[in-house]
Each structure stands twice: as structure tokens, then as C-alpha cells.
Chain A
Amino acid sequence: MNLTLADVDVGIEVEVVSYDGEGLYEFKFISLGILPGDCVVIQSKSLFGGPMAIKHGEWNFFALRKDYAKKIIVKKLGE
């Protein structure tokens, strides 16, 4: 089982490995500049499994639904 962004706790920094699912997801993430090898930290998670806010790199912020976060395969830093 791959570790996805949806499984990561708030405040832990992870590295993007690849994208799951159809090309459309990958297309969206890449267009916004979220590339494999980038670091991502979860800033907050909303009530009842709502969207999570993430910090990408040093200065970009995004929010995405859990279903989306499940498409981003990540690994813990240093693994």
C-alpha cells in the first residue's frame, strides 16, 4: 500500500513521489507546479473530513479535497 497525502498528519513534511489515477489529476497538479520531488506539509484539516490545506514548497498554499489528496503518493523525508 502506497502512502498518500491523505494519510499524513498535520505538520509533517513529506515528498511527492508520483500521482495515482487518470492523467487528469497529474495534469492538474503539474500545471499548478506540484512536481515529483517537491516537499509538502499539511497545514490543517477541516471538520468531518473536509478539504485539507497544504503548503507546497516554501511559499505556495493550496486546499484540496481528501479524494484529491489520495491521488498524491508521497514518502516521508529521508526514506
Chain B
Amino acid sequence: MENVLLVGFPNSGKSTIFNMLTGQLRKVSNYSGVTVDSASSELISNSINEIKLSVVDLPGVTNLIPTSLDEGVTTTTLIKDCSQYKMIAMIIDLDRFEASLSLLLAVKEILNKKIVVIINKNDHHLFTNAHAQRLEERLGLPVMSISAINDDEKFLDNFIRKHQNDILVNETLQPKIKVHPDATQFMPDLLQNKEFEVITSAEVINSIKGHQSQSRQIINSIYRHSTKKTKLTEKIDAIILHKFWGSIIFVGIFYFIFHAIYAWAGPVMDFSERMVASLGQFLVPHLSDGFFKSLLIDGVIAGVGGVVVFVPQIMILFFLLSLLEQSGYISRAAVLTDKIMSLFGLNGKAFLPYMSGFACAIPAIMAARSIPNHKERACTIMTIPMVTCSARLPVYVLLIGTFVPKITYLGFLNSQALAFFFLYFLGSFFSLVVAKIFRLTIFKGETSNFMIDLPHYEKPSFRFAFRQALRKGKLFLKKAGTIILGLSILIWFLSTFPGPDKEHTVNKTPEQISSITLEGSILGHTGKLIEPVLRPMGMNWKMGVGLMVAFGARELFVSTMGTVYALGNVDEESTTLRERLRTEVDPITGRPVFTTAVAWSILIFFVFALQCTSTLAIVRREMGSWKYPFYMFSYMGILGYGSAVLVYQFLK
């Protein structure tokens, strides 16, 4: 297997090209710093070619001298051992032609023989073959131009295959870069004197300046930019980044997303809920009574089915976020939020990690690597898990949809969408407040500076957004089909066994038997054991069981409720989980168990508590010590419990 490295500026389209060549779906966005670690994958065309190639996607850099850990990955990969790769594909961003070409010149200086040049973002065919030919002559390297979002991968694949064939000998010369003293900390794997040499900052600056002006000379002699796209970007930014309108549009866009999740997904969700319910009803007469029937209907269908119905919401969220990301709006959002971020002692660059946190805390915590300052990075990582991730979505949708009455204010504001928006806001806001507290105490320090590239606006592709949404939907279903399915079955076992004694079931209705079985089960006993702790939050042991299980993965709360209530309920009328929750009655008092106060108490607990074992593992990996996940788990748990108690006592 021969490796091809993809090297280029941030947001020059390396990941899009990587996905195009390998058929992988690596996260891409029209924003700098999305790729923070290298990824390697085989070409799709390997199946029909003798020579097997794989491409390596590296974090974007503006020069070879790193100022953060993610940039260090790129330099280290290039320098450390060049027998590890056959070729370097330099990705040049046509929108930032001069600066990105100067990076190529810097790489060319130390590794001359293995480079091919790919001019990306040639979406309007402005860079012609004649231009490419002239650039080839000037550089002495093969050049091609593509539009990674529009073009077919075959063209690029052929180009790479053709030229990797031409590279006959592996370059044997050991490359060595010249760096200033501050950069060495970001390349822990490189050795001084062997792989790099330390020179003064002034010398480094002079060499970069030299590459920049050389690059301009080359471009001026062969190419003229079109100003059409620039004019459009200027016009849009005049409104989007406007002092006053910019902020209003920002809030409007994000409110719209939450509104869409409710308004558009509602009918689809009702439909899929009915489907799941009727599947259960369809199967009932065909199965003989017994454990298997109960396992299938109450364990699998109620558990997994309860979670699967949230696929539409997840797809809509990611469809809309993808449109936003592609357009180039996210960098503008980082600009608009930088002032607020700085008030909390963070950097506008923390916006992207927080933003990714809305999908999942795992990639978000990794994205924090693009923050150069260690304390700011630690602080960002420690607070990201409070941002509402998509695993909380099912819980929010279930409880809000069931317990918040649908009211329309001012003709367009929907009460359920507002409740949703409020929970998202609460999580994000408190993550910032806690960040500030951390910045004033354990991670004390000045805020580092913020500078960001604003890409040209691009017309987002609906097809691309749909593919992203489909992928998230698939991932979610996969999780439902594996982890959630497995745990649903486990929960069914724990809530069915060890079964009631014969003498207790004499002269009882089936409904009473079910409820006795559940209470006497392992899960029931455990739930009752922790009930005193749950009381102040207004929760009973059934909900406690849901909360405990949710520490494995948050969605499990929904599937557990599905299983637990399916078992305790043989009422044919209430077929969906929402109806079951609404009609659940306390056997002693006769009043509904789920009141508005209880629902909000659970919601608030979910906003704050860290119920995700994968997050703990990734924090350990990123920060290198168990101390961090331990603190994270504790502070979030205390916050979750404390505020849930407050909310319940206040609303009761």
C-alpha cells in the first residue's frame, strides 16, 4: 500500500477531496479547522487497479511552523519519515491562491520530488487548462484543477495514479525544517538537529515573506482573479455581519432550526410512532403467550421502536446544519459570537467545538485541539458536554411533546419550539458560565487572540446536505440496532426476572401481575433502593431506572421508559409511549405520575448531567489524565441533581 498525503491550507477542501477519493464521509464544512487529526483510507478505485493507494487527510496549515498541536501533526507527518508516503498532493485554494501557493513553495523547498498540485474550488472553471500548463512550467510540478464539490472523482483519481507511477525512486534525502523556538512544543515526536533546526523568529518571518512574494509573482504572471464572487460576499457580509441586523439574523436562523425540528418532524414522527405501535399489534395475535412474546413486544419493539421514531428529527437537524456549514455562515457566526465568548474567557475559535457539541461531544472535544492556548482548550473541553447533543434530543422531544401544551404566541412562536430552544439555550449558556468560573479559578489566564478566515459564500448543495443527513440517520439507526437493542433486551430481562411467586398472582388481573413482576424484578429493587435520592427531584423508581440506564447512553432513557411502561401497562388504548406516560397513574393517590413539574425536573437533569461513558473516555484520552473526566462527571452531576431538585420544588 502506497500513501498519498493531502496537505493544504485550512478550509481548502482536503477532506472533501479525501471523501471524494475514498467514498468515506469525513466531516467537512466551509470553515477552518474542522480536521484536527489525520485519517487514512483506501481509494475506491483500488478494487479495479493493481497498485493499491491510500490517501491521508491532514489538518490544514498555513505554513510548516506549527502554532498548535493539530498543525504539528501535519509537519510531523511530512518530516518524520518520508519513506512512509509515496506522494504529497498539495491542495491549493483558488480563493486564497497566493497564500496557499506560498505553502506549496515552503514544502517544495524541503521535499522537492514527490509533490503534485491540485487547484481546488475551481467551481466556475475560471482556472483553465492553459493556466494549469503555465503553472506547471513555473513550478516544475504536475498541476490539475478541480471543483471537489462538483466534479467526478475519476479525473482526480487518474491524475494521482498517473503521477505516482512517475515517482520512481523514493526521495532519500532527510528533510529538515527551520523553526523558531516556540514551535518545538507542538512537534513532540520530532528530534532537534535531526529533523529540525531552531533559528530566530526574524529569520522564520523572512523566509515566509520570501515565499509569499515569490508566490504572488508567479500568480501575477499567469492568472487574473475574478471579482464576481468577492462582490457577492461583500454584499452579503454587509448585512450578515451588520452590527444590529447581524445579531438578529443569527438568533433568527437558530430559532428557525429548532422550529423546523418540531414543525416538520411532527407529522413524520406521529406516522412512525403509529407504525411501530401497529407492528406490535400486528405481531401480538401471531405469537403464543410467554416470555418470548413479552421479550419481543415489550423489550425489543417498545425499547428500540421508542428510539427509532426520532430519526426524522436528527436528519432535519443535520440537513439544516450542513446547509449552513456549506454556505460559509459558520465563520460569520464565530465572528458574531466572539465578543460573548471573550466575556466568558474563551476564544471565538471555541465556537466551532461548541457548535459541533450540538451533534455529539466526542468530535467536539477533539475539535478543541485547534485552540492554541492550553488552559483555554482545557476549559473548552471541560464544558462542551453541557452543550445539548443529539442524544438528548429524543428525551427532550418525548417529554416536551407530551407535557408542554401546544400554544402559539404572536401568531408564529410555538410554545414547544420555545421550550426546546430554552433547553438548548440553558445548556449552552451554563457551559459558558462554568467556563468563566473555571477561567477565574483553576484555568486562570488571559484570553488568547482571535483571527479567522472568512471564506467566500457558496451556494449550498441540497444533495450534499441530504447525504450528510442520511448518514447521521444511518449512524443513529445503527446505534439503535446494536447498543440500544442489546441494552433493551438486557433491561427487559432485569425488569422481568426473578418473576413473582405463584401465591401473589392468584386472583389478580393481568395488569396487576405485570406491575407486581416489575416491582419485584432486579431493576425494580434497584430503583426502589435509590428512590429516597430521587424523591426531591419528584421522580419515582421507574424514572430512576431510566436515569440509571441513561448513564450508558442518553437515548436509553426513552427505550427504558418504553420497556418499563410497556410491561406495567396492558391497556390496549394507549399504544404509543407518549400516551402511556400521560395516562400513568399513581396506584396510591390516583393522580397522574408525570406532572409538568416532574417532566421539567427530568429535562433539567438531562441538560446538565453527564450521562455518556464515551465522553469520559475521550476526555481521558485528550487530556491525558483521569482527573479531568472525574471532575467533569462530578461537577455536572451535582449541577444536574441540584437544579432538578430546585425546579421540581419550585413547580410542584
Contact = CB atoms under 8 A, between A and B. Distances in A.
Interface of A: 23-24, 26-28, 30-33, 35, 43-51, 53, 55, 57-65, 67-68
B212 A35 contact: yes
A32 B95 CA distance: 13
Query: Interface of chain B, helix or strand or loop or mixed?
Result: helix
Contacts of B227: 58-59
Nearest to A37: B213
Q: In the complex, which of the residues A30, A55, A62, A67 has the most CB atoms of chain B within 10 Å of its own CB atom?
A: A30
B99 A33 contact: yes
Nearest to A31: B62
B246 A46 contact: yes
B67 to A, nearest CB: 8
Contacts of B336: 46, 50
A50 B339 contact: yes
Interface string B342-384: 1000001000000000000000000000000000000000000
Interface in B323-348: 331, 334-336, 338-339, 342, 348
B529 interface: no
Contact of B243 (A35, A44, A60, A62): A44
B204 interface: yes
A60 B99 CA distance: 10
Contacts of A51: 335, 338-339, 348, 450, 452
Contact of B208 (A31, A44, A57, A58): A31
13 contacts: A24-B201, A32-B451, A35-B212, A44-B237, A46-B338, A47-B339, A53-B237, A55-B234, A59-B225, A61-B456, A65-B348, A65-B451, A68-B449
Contacts of A46: 241, 243, 246, 335-336, 338-339
Interface of B: 62-63, 65, 67, 95-96, 98-99, 102, 180, 182, 201-202, 204-205, 208-209, 212-213, 225, 227, 229-230, 233-234, 237-238, 241-244, 246-247, 331, 334-336, 338-339, 342, 348, 449-456
B372 to A, nearest CB: 10
A28 to B, nearest CB: 7
A60 B242 contact: no
Nearest to B65: A27
Nearest to A59: B230
A18 B453 CA distance: 20
Nearest to B96: A60
Contacts of A64: 449-452
Contact of B453 (A24, A32, A47): A32
Contact of A43 (B102, B213, B234): B234
Nearest to B225: A59
A44 B238 contact: yes
B123 to A, nearest CB: 14
B201 A67 contact: no
Contact of B213 (A35, A53, A60): A35
B335 A53 contact: yes
Given A35-B213, A50-B339, A62 B246 contact: no
Contacts of A30: 205, 208-209, 212
Contacts of B202: 23
A37 to B, nearest CB: 10
B205 A47 contact: no
A58 B229 CA distance: 11
A34 to B, nearest CB: 9
A43 B336 CA distance: 14
A42 to B, nearest CB: 11
A58 B451 CA distance: 19
Contact of B452 (A35, A58, A60, A62): A62
Contacts of A24: 67, 182, 201
Nearest to A50: B339
B238 A43 contact: yes
Contacts of B212: 30, 33, 35
Contacts of B65: 27
A44 B450 contact: no
Contacts of A32: 62, 99, 451, 453
A62 B454 contact: yes
Contacts of A49: 339
Nearest to B452: A63
A75 B388 CA distance: 47
Contacts of A33: 96, 98-99, 102, 212
Given A53-B237, A61-B456, A23 B451 contact: no
A31 B201 CA distance: 13
A33 to B, nearest CB: 3
A62 B279 CA distance: 55
Contacts of A58: 225, 227, 230
B338 A61 contact: no
Contact of A27 (B208, B247, B335, B348): B208
